[in-house]
Amino acid sequence: MDTETIDSEEWDELMLNLEATIPVYDRINRFATLGQVKKWRGLVRQKMPAEGRILEVGCGPGSFAEDVVGTDLVCLDPSALMLATAEPRVNACRTERGDSLVEFVEGKAEELPFEDNSFDGVCSLFSFRDWYDKRAGLSQVLRVLKPGAKVVIVDPAKMNQLHGFFGWMWMRIWVGAYARIVCKTSDHPWKWLTKTYVHFGTTKDYIRMLEEVGFVQVKGKAIFPGMATIWEAHKPELGKGCCSNC
Ligand SMILES: C[S@@+](CC[C@H](N)C(=O)[O-])C[C@H]1O[C@@H](n2cnc3c(N)ncnc32)[C@H](O)[C@@H]1O
């Protein structure tokens, strides 16, 4: 595992551990972020276009998708179990609100099964860290976005080494202790949260990567209180420095 890739054996093990978090996912996330996760999800919703077709990459059990109001939403995840958890949860909320049903698609960021230029916005929350080839995944996101459209990514990156050290302590001690209690075992799947965090890069690493794959107007900054980073980037408008992905 490094800042760009995860080898296939480790990724398979990571996926099993992510699936094992499903029953306690929202509870531990709320605790781990001192309740801030709700605000971060709201921030991403605000940054997505109010109309058009939106893709969430790595939807997990549907924690973000259930509160997306109105827009035409597609949720992608490589785990059939995650999708089976998310679909009834999200579509029950959508039906209650009178929104169109979400389309759930099994797939990976690195091989998005969608046509070029087919989304008005793409977002990914707490998933980018788990992509086994982050550069390939971002290139795919660029390909499926319409010219001028935006990707928003949230994940806990480090600002620098010292910040990374405090982040590691927070996850290992604070989140680890709570996960041990909730999961009733010291061998809980949240250990993988710490592991992927340690190997994940800095905010700047992924600003650079977004620029290198062809995004423009790239921004990345820590979100209060510094536990997560939000990146925003646009696909170039047609005829304005558009790359081979346009
Ligand atoms: C921690 S969950 C995030 C769930 C949700 N987005 C949220 O806001 O809480 C991470 C998800 O990313 C998915 N994932 C892992 N590797 C992926 C990849 N290569 N492409 C797309 N999704 C991936 C996992 O299956 C998992 O469901």
pLDDT band at 46 (very low <50, low <70, confident <90, very high): very high
CATH number of the domain encompassing residue 19: 3.40.50.150
pLDDT single digits (tens) 138-186: 999 999 999 999 999 999 988 888 888 888 888 888 888 888 887 788 8
Domain for residue 229, yes or no?
Answer: yes
Establish if 121 belongs to a structural domain.
yes
Residue 148 is assigned to a structural domain of this protein: yes
pLDDT score for 242: 55
- Does residue 120 have its Cβ closer than 6 Å to ligand 1? no
Cβ burial, residue 134 (10 Å; 0-12/13-18/19+): buried
Tokens of 129: 């860290």
Provide the β-strand partners of residue 28: none
Q: Is residue 150 part of a domain?
A: yes
pLDDT, tens digit, for every residue of 78-131? 999 999 999 999 999 999 999 999 999 999 999 999 999 999 999 999 999 999
Domain of residue 70 covers 8-158+199-234
From atom 14 of ligand 1, which residue's Cα is the shortest distance away?
Answer: 58
The count of structural domains within the chain is 1
Is residue 103 included in any domain, yes or no?
A: yes
Do 58 and 110 contact (CB within 8 A), yes or no? no
175 belongs to a structural domain: no
> Is 242 among the domain residues?
no
User: Under a CB-based contact definition with an 8 Å cutoff, are residues 231 and 152 in contact?
Assistant: yes
> pLDDT higher for 64 or 191?
64
Residue 83: HSE in the Cβ half-sphere, 13 Å Cα cutoff:
17
Is the CB of residue 228 below 6 angstroms from any atom belonging to ligand 1? no
Residue 141 lies in a domain: yes
